[in-house]
Amino acid sequence: MFTEKLRIGSPPAPESLVLVEGFLNTWSGELNIDDFKTPHSTEEWLRSVELWVSEEHITPEQTQKIIQFRSDLRTWILDSESRKSLDALASEISFQVNFNADGEVRFTSTGDPYHRAIGTLIEIIGESQKNGTWDRFKCCALPTCGWAFYDSTRSRTKRWCSMQTCGSRHKSREHYKRKQQSDIEK
């Protein structure tokens, strides 16, 4: 598999959900990472994880939509009420429906390579929701980080990718804001 090419946490997300984790972790403001800076770098990453399996090349418009999908997906993970733009983008994706002999309904994305790439990620999310792993999949609550991670804690309440870095930064910033407000009120 291609997991060695993905930036993932410890523990990594289970099964194919690790691909969504790696997709989201192609950007982090805190770590100064953006694997989707250009259409070429975006296509290169998508090919490296077998999400782009065509001779066609990605267009600048498709690159922008993939970047938007990544951003909207992260926003939705942090706040499930923020779904309108994600809904609009996902509505462009076509799926083929297959009814299996075991009674299961499977959705497979169709269309051009761009639609299949986004569709595959949506399929993985749907499967993760069905098998119960989605509720442990999170993104760091520090807005400049957004690192995707799998919360393996018993309480399932982890908010930061790392308490030592992002959690500490957040708490320091909040302390500074309270101190500033206190100084103003004096």
Q: For 136-147, what is each residue's pLDDT tens digit?
A: 999 988 888 888
Model pLDDT, residue 175: 55
Helix ranges, 79-167 (H): 84-90, 113-131
Model pLDDT, residue 62: 96
Give the pLDDT confidence of 137-177 residue by residue, as tens digits. Answer: 999 888 888 889 999 988 888 777 776 667 666 566 665 66
Model pLDDT, residue 44: 96
Locate tokens 């407000």: which residue?
181
Query: What integer is the mean pLDDT of 85-107?
Result: 87
Give the pLDDT confidence of 59-75 residue by residue, as tens digits. Answer: 999 999 999 999 999 99
Phi/psi of residue 124, nearest 5 degrees: -65, -40
Res. 5 pLDDT band, cuts 50 70 90: confident
Model pLDDT, residue 160: 77
Tokens of 1: 């598999």
Chain mean pLDDT for the chain: 87
Non-local (6+) Cβ contacts of 159 within 8 A are: 138, 140, 141, 167
Just give the CATH number of 10-185. Answer: 1.10.3300
